[in-house]
Amino acid sequence: MTVQQLKSINHLTSTLIFPGQVLKVNTITSNPDKGKNTTDVYVVKLGDSLSTIAKRYNLSLSALLKINPNISNSDRIRIGQTIRVTGKASASAINKPSKSTKADQVLAAGAKYMGAKYVYGASTSRTDVFDCSSFTLRAFQSAGISLPRNSVAQSHAGTAVSSKALQKGDLVFFDTNNDGVINHVGIYAGNGQMLNASTSKGVSYANINNSYWGPSFVKAVRVLN
Q: For residues 202 and 116, is the Cβ–Cβ distance under 8 A? A: yes
Which residue of the set 132, 177, 209, 210 is catalytic?
132
**Got the DSSP string for 29-87?**
---TTT-EEEEEEEEP-TT--HHHHHHHTT--HHHHHHT-TT---TT---TT-EEEEEE
Beta bridge partners of 206: 194
Task: Report the C-alpha gap between 39 and 25 in whole angstroms.
Answer: 9
Q: Determine whether 196 is an active site residue.
A: yes
Q: Choosing from 196, 209, 210, 225, which is the catalytic residue?
A: 196
- Answer for the pair 148, 157: CB distance below 8 angstroms, yes or no: yes
Name the active-site residue from 156, 184, 191, 209: 184
Report the alpha-carbon distance of residue 189 to residue 195 in Å, rounded.
6
Residues 6+ apart with CB under 8 A from 161: 167, 170, 220, 221, 222
State yes or no: is 156 an active-site residue: no
Catalytic residue annotation:
132, 184, 196
